Amino acid sequence: MMGPHPAVADVRRAIRESLSDLDEGSLVLVACSGGADSLALAACLGFVAPRLGLRAGLVTVDHDLQPGSRSRADDLVRLSPSLGLDVAEAVTVQVGTLGGPEAAARIARYAALDEVSARLGAVVLLGHTRDDQAETVLLRLARGSGARSLSGMAEVSGVYRRPLLGVSRTRTEEACAALGLIPWHDPHNDDPRFTRVKVRQTLLPLLESDLGPGIADALARTARLCRDDADALDDWADRVYAEARDLGTGLSTALLAELPAAVRRRVIHRAAVAAGSPPSALAAVHIEEAERLITRWTGQKGVDLPGGVGVVRRYGRLMFTSSLS
Ligand SMILES: Nc1ncnc2c1ncn2[C@@H]1O[C@H](COP(=O)(O)OP(=O)(O)OP(=O)(O)O)[C@@H](O)[C@H]1O
């Protein structure tokens, strides 16, 4: 008997590896846009899940922004039984305007996926590929990021899993073709006004031809290595912070001065968040400014951080104050 097409075999293997820790009978849903990545994921999950004793389905979110989006969602729901999926939901969401249309659509989409996952007690699979990971790493590199940020998208994050981070986008297109599935082509993916599209269409091909093939693979590997480094440094900082906190208010400047810079900045970050700085607003420049109270101390006055948090150095301690409490 002929085996599956190699691209189909790759996607199935990636799913098996990603789900091997789940209990029998668990429900796994693919967040499916109809694009090649998540369609290949859905079809291959339908094959793999029963063999792992898992239940499988898909959920598709209609952002109601383009004509025909609801019927595309309905088509996916109709298709799902033939893919071996027992559960299928199409959710239409209201997209706000906060942060621009793309960001607003993403916020609405994840809110809908969170809700379905919580209601059905399901793990949710996302179709991000190795190429998405490579693009993410390049974009973050260009912004001047640390190891955590360069570690890109996580394979597991709460109820979400990304089984395809080691599989190329081309591979998912080949898998769809081999299975006779016609993916939906998102016009946004070709719109050169988006920086990510420029990275995809211009920068990565240029790097690929000038630096040699395998750049996407190399960037995805960088992400994995950075993740391990960031995890180790975070663990270290957690331990230092837990001990330093027990000593009373503020952090000892002598202790902070002795720490390696990577750990010191993480400890300051933890203290700032504990004092009320929102992590999303707290940038590397803020932490570096606070760090200068240790490394470049000339008796300067305090530093203001987002969320109304102030940092001052007093009597051998770095004190974090909140103007809100
Ligand atoms: N309309 C949708 N319905 C369900 N899932 C979706 C939808 N759009 C995207 N997804 C899921 O999200 C994954 C990533 O999609 P895409 O690359 O288009 O997202 P993005 O706009 O870059 O945002 P992010 O990567 O932060 O999710 C897809 O592979 C799919 O699993």
3-class SS string, the chain: CCCCCHHHHHHHHHHHHHHCCCCCCCEEEEECCCCHHHHHHHHHHHHHHHHCCCEEEEEEEECCCCCCHHHHHHHHHHHHHHHCCCEEEEEECCCCCCCCHHHHHHHHHHHHHHHHHHHHCEEEECCCCHHHHHHHHHHHHHHCCCHHHHCCCCCEECCEECCCCCCCHHHHHHHHHHCCCCCCCCHHHHCCCCHHHHHHHHHHHHHHHHHCCCHHHHHHHHHHHHHHHHHHHHHHHHHHHHHHHHCCCCEEHHHHHHCCHHHHHHHHHHHHHHHCCCCCCCCHHHHHHHHHHHHCCCCCCCEEECCCEEEEEECCEEEEEECCC
Strands 251-252 and 160-161, by their bridges, are unpaired
Ligand 1 touching residue 250 (CB < 6 A) = no
Residue nearest to atom 25 of ligand 1 (CA): 128
Where does 6-219 sit in CATH, by number?
Answer: 3.40.50.620
What is the C-alpha separation between 139 and 150, in angstroms, rounded? 9
Say which residue, 77 or 2, is predicted with more confidence: 77
Please state the atom number of ligand 1 nearest to the C-alpha of residue 31.
5
pLDDT of residue 235: 98
What is the C-alpha separation between 188 and 198, in angstroms, rounded? 12
Whether 96 shows a pLDDT value over 90: the answer reads no
pLDDT of residue 324: 73
Q: What percent of the chain has pLDDT over 90?
A: 82
Residue nearest to atom 6 of ligand 1 (CA): 33
Strands 156-157 and 122-125, by their bridges, are unpaired
pLDDT of residue 211: 87
Instruction: Kindly give the distance from the C-alpha atom of residue 283 to the centroid of ligand 1, in angstroms, as a whole number.
Output: 26
φ/ψ (deg, to 5) at 41:
-60, -45
309-318 confidence digits (pLDDT tens): 999 999 999 9
Placement of tokens 């089984």 in the chain? 163
Ligand 1 touching residue 32 (CB < 6 A) = yes
Residue nearest to atom 12 of ligand 1 (CA): 126
Instruction: Kindly give the distance from the C-alpha atom of residue 208 to the centroid of ligand 1, in angstroms, as a whole number.
Output: 25
φ/ψ (deg, to 5) at 319:
-105, 135
Domain ranges of the chain: 6-219, 247-322
Instruction: Kindly give the distance from the C-alpha atom of residue 98 to the centroid of ligand 1, in angstroms, as a whole number.
Output: 18
163-219 confidence digits (pLDDT tens): 999 999 999 999 999 999 999 988 888 888 889 999 999 999 999 898 888 999 999
Residue nearest to atom 28 of ligand 1 (CA): 127
* Tokens matching residue 65: 């922004």
Contact 127, 31 (CB under 8 A): yes
Q: Please give the biggest Cα pair distance in the chain.
A: 78
Whether 304 shows a pLDDT value over 60: the answer reads yes
Contact 34, 61 (CB under 8 A): no
- Topology annotation, domain 247-322: 3.30.465
Instruction: Kindly give the distance from the C-alpha atom of residue 32 to the centroid of ligand 1, in angstroms, as a whole number.
Output: 8
Please state the atom number of ligand 1 nearest to the C-alpha of residue 186.
18
Is 147 part of any known ligand binding site? Answer: no
pLDDT of residue 212: 81
Ligand 1 touching residue 127 (CB < 6 A) = yes
pLDDT of residue 202: 93
Mean pLDDT score of the chain, rounded to an integer?
94
pLDDT of residue 213: 85
Give the ipTM: 0.97
**Rounded average pLDDT over 219-228:** 96
* Tokens matching residue 260: 């390696």
Whether 6-219 and 247-322 share one fold: the answer is no
pLDDT of residue 275: 92
Ligand 1 touching residue 18 (CB < 6 A) = no
Instruction: Kindly give the distance from the C-alpha atom of residue 89 to the centroid of ligand 1, in angstroms, as a whole number.
Output: 16
Whether 247 shows a pLDDT value over 60: the answer reads no
Is 33 part of any known ligand binding site? Answer: yes
100-140 confidence digits (pLDDT tens): 888 899 999 999 999 999 999 999 999 999 999 999 999 99
Ligand 1 touching residue 70 (CB < 6 A) = no
**Rounded average pLDDT over 53-69:** 92
What is the C-alpha separation between 217 and 224, in angstroms, rounded? 11
